[in-house]
């Protein structure tokens, strides 16, 4: 897809990867960028920065775990700028722990990391399929292709996000829908702070990353990730890997699952500092 003169919507647009995506889309000539986030002030600041650069933007306060908010977001975007061509569904959080994580935290991370994408697809599919074109970019994680040491909820929900993106591409790819799935490793964002906000009413839930696993191949800036996403959209690539090493890890996982599992256990011990 050529981004020029396309209407784009980005959720989680107030900070991190979402913010950088909004700015990059405007710089690449998008007709308009809708900046959506539960952080109203942050969304307004990003939209103002876009408009200061001579581009059109609209801030929208939206909680993407609510289907009504997802529907209203699409309606607002279309009322202001016309049909949505590109939608980057980018909201996400992380919590530490395994199966012992409280049900409320499991429910919240599922709502943010998976159900938000479902609501976006429900709102957009009838419109995009009727036009015979449209583009969805779902933000998952390298954890959705591999795993996240120290966080079962993050691993499970990111695998689900990848599966949803694949299903959408398979089911509607021949009807004009283009789908990409963003799967980075470590990125310098405020994910921890955002996650803490989402589960602040659950003091027993931890939101710090359990191990430095994701940073073993380097920590990218949000601007670097946004640039990779823009190039992938131009090529209409399904899998977007800002850390290219992930492709090799996924191949190793598929080639010999038992060996990969053993290797991940060794990595877990090494990164945790615990004796083997």
Domain annotation covers residue 112: yes
Whole-model pTM: value is 0.90
- Residue 195's pLDDT is 46
- Three-state secondary structure call for residue 26: helix
Domain annotation covers residue 167: yes
Question: Which of 91, 174, 166, 175 is closest to 127 using CA atoms?
Answer: 175
Range picked from 2-6, 205-209, 212-216 for highest mean pLDDT = 2-6
Task: Give the confidence band of 148 by pLDDT, cuts at 50, 70, 90.
Answer: very high
- Residue 205's pLDDT is 54
Question: Which of 177, 188, 179, 184 is closest to 219 using CA atoms?
Answer: 188
**Residue 153 DSSP one-character state:** H
Domain annotation covers residue 228: yes
Half-sphere exposure of 123 (CA within 13 A, CB side): 28
Residue 37 belongs to what domain range?
7-272
**Residue 82 DSSP one-character state:** S
Domain annotation covers residue 125: yes
Determine contact, residues 178/236, Cβ cutoff 8 Å. Answer: yes
Task: Give the confidence band of 218 by pLDDT, cuts at 50, 70, 90.
Answer: confident
Total domains, the chain: 1
Domain annotation covers residue 11: yes
CA dist 156 → 86, 145, 152 (Å):
26, 10, 6
Annotated catalytic residue 119:
no
Q: Is the pLDDT of residue 244 over 70?
A: yes
Alpha helices in the chain (DSSP H): 16-27, 40-52, 67-81, 103-110, 116-131, 152-172, 191-198, 222-235, 245-255, 257-272
The CATH number covering residue 95 comes to 3.40.50.720
Domain annotation covers residue 1: no
Determine contact, residues 107/156, Cβ cutoff 8 Å. Answer: no
- Rounded to an integer, the average pLDDT of 222-230 is 96
Domain annotation covers residue 231: yes
Task: Give the confidence band of 271 by pLDDT, cuts at 50, 70, 90.
Answer: confident
Q: Which has the higher per-residue pLDDT, 98 or 211?
A: 98
- The residue annotated as part of the active site, out of 119, 135, 154, 172, is 154
In three-state form (DSSP H/G/I as H, E/B as E, the rest C), the secondary structure along 160-228 is: HHHHHHHHHHHHHHHHCEEEEEECCCCECCCHHHHHHHHCCCCCCCCCCCCCCHHHCCCCECHHHHHHH
Question: Which of 232, 36, 233, 219 is closest to 142 using CA atoms?
Answer: 219
- Rounded to an integer, the average pLDDT of 130-144 is 97
Domain annotation covers residue 2: no
Compute the distance between CA of residue 195 and CA of residue 108 in angstroms, rounded to an integer: 10
């Amino acid at each position: 897809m050529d981004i020029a003169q396309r209407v784009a919507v980005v959720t989680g647009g107030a900070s991190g990867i979402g913010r950088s995506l909004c700015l990059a889309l405007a710089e690449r000539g998008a007709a308009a960028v809708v900046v959506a986030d539960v952080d109203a002030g942050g969304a307004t600041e990003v939209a103002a920065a876009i408009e200061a650069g001579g581009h059109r933007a609209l801030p929208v306060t939206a909680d993407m775990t609510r289907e009504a908010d997802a529907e209203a977001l699409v309606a607002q975007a279309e009322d202001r700028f016309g049909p949505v061509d590109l939608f980057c569904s980018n909201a996400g959080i992380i919590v530490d722990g395994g199966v012992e994580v409280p049900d409320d935290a499991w429910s919240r991370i599922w709502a943010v990391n998976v159900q938000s994408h479902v609501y976006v697809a429900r709102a957009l599919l009838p419109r995009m399929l009727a036009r015979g074109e449209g583009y969805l970019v779902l933000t998952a994680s390298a954890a959705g292709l591999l795993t996240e040491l120290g966080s079962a909820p993050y691993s499970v929900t990111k695998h689900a996000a990848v599966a949803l993106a694949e299903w959408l591409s398979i089911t509607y790819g021949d009807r004009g829908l283009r789908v990409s799935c963003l799967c980075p490793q470590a990125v310098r964002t405020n994910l921890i702070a955002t996650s803490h906000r989402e589960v602040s009413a659950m003091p027993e839930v931890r939101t710090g990353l359990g191990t430095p696993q994701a940073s073993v191949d380097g920590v990218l800036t949000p601007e670097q990730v946004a640039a990779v996403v823009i190039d992938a959209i131009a090529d209409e690539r399904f899998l977007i890997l800002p850390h290219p090493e992930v492709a090799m890890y996924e191949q190793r996982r598929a080639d010999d699952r038992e060996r990969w599992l053993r290797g991940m256990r060794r990595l877990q011990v090494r990164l945790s500092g615990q004796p083997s």
